[in-house]
Structure 1
Amino acid sequence: MTAHRIFATPFSKIHPMYVQKAERKGRSAAEVDRIICWLTGYDEAGLAEQLRRNVDIETFFDEAPAIHPNASLVTGVVCGVRVETVEDPLMRTIRCLDKLVDELAKGKAMEKILR
């Protein structure tokens, strides 16, 4: 089975899209970064370093200090896909991040997003 093409996409190309989505709805880049750090365990400097290194998404998540244990509590539909039914662990983590950013853009309180 071949890897999904999103795995080879540089995270530095995806990050601005998350920020734009949030900012269009009146949220901030700092809130997006807080969500990313919560999910992955990166601190701000670690996240900035990964963006600077232009790593692909697979490497970004592989090098993450620790995926948050509550990531499994993220459920719902994003891009027509039910997050909790995604079998590939990397794809599930990507969909989880997508869902968290969607919730931010929809105005959900940060305390509820960061379960």
Structure 2
Amino acid sequence: MKVTDAHNERIANMKFSSVYPHYVTKVEKKGRTKEELHQVITWLTGFDEAKLQEFIGNEATFKEFFAKANLNPNAHLIKGVICGYRIEEIDNELTRKTRYLDKLVDELAKGRTMEKILRSAI
């Protein structure tokens, strides 16, 4: 699928705090933990627990969330299709970062090992 400007704008303005509970539900339904989810988010963004809670409490948008993130240098190794979009083909940087996070959450929920999710065995 092709990412449109309207799609990019919608993602930029979406609140992280509105999506976060869905991430928690998704991983917990599959037997993973909130702590593992936070480990994945921390790996991607560099945010500690306090900073993550601050973004949730302040209802930060994904634009604000990723503007303050220190993206992991291995994030470019996250590849594949998520929500119908091939991550490697997404031109918009913010949308790509958001899809990186979606992909990591999906991999966690699907039972991949943490070593593979965090791209440490590559």
What TM-score, normalized by structure 1, do the two folds share? 0.94
CA-CA distance at 1:53 after TM superposition: 1.1
What letter matches 1:71 in structure 2?
A
Deviations 1:54-83 (A, max 9, x none): 11111011012x100100000011111111
Q: Does 1:33 align with 2:2?
A: no
Residues in 2 aligned to 1:114 and 1:80: alpha-carbon distance in whole angstroms: 22
CA–CA distance in structure 1, aligned partners of residues 100 and 11 of structure 2: 14
> Which residue pairs with 2:60 in the alignment?
55
Q: Match for residue 6 of structure 1?
A: 11
Q: Which consecutive residues of structure 1, in runs of 5 or more, have no partner in the other structure? A: none
SS at match of 1:23: helix
**Could you say which residue in structure 2 is the equivalent of 1:23?**
28
1:83 aligns with 2:87: yes
TM-score, normalised to structure 2's length?
0.89
What displacement does 1:90 show? 0.5
Per-residue deviation, 1:29 = 1.0
Say if 2:37 is the partner of 1:43: no
CA apart distance, 1:52: 1.1
> What 5-or-longer segments of structure 2 have no aligned partner?
none
What is the rounded CA distance, in whole Å, between the counterparts of 1:49 and 1:107 in structure 2? 28
Distance 2:95 2:14 in 1: 13
Per the TM alignment, residue 17 of structure 1 is displaced from its structure 2 partner at its CA by 0.6
Match of 2:99 among 95, 104, 107: 95
Counterpart-to-counterpart distance in 1, 2:57 and 2:91? 30
If asked which structure has higher relative contact order (CA below 8 Å, sep 6+), I would say 2
Q: Provide runs of 4+ in structure 1 moved above 6 Å.
A: none
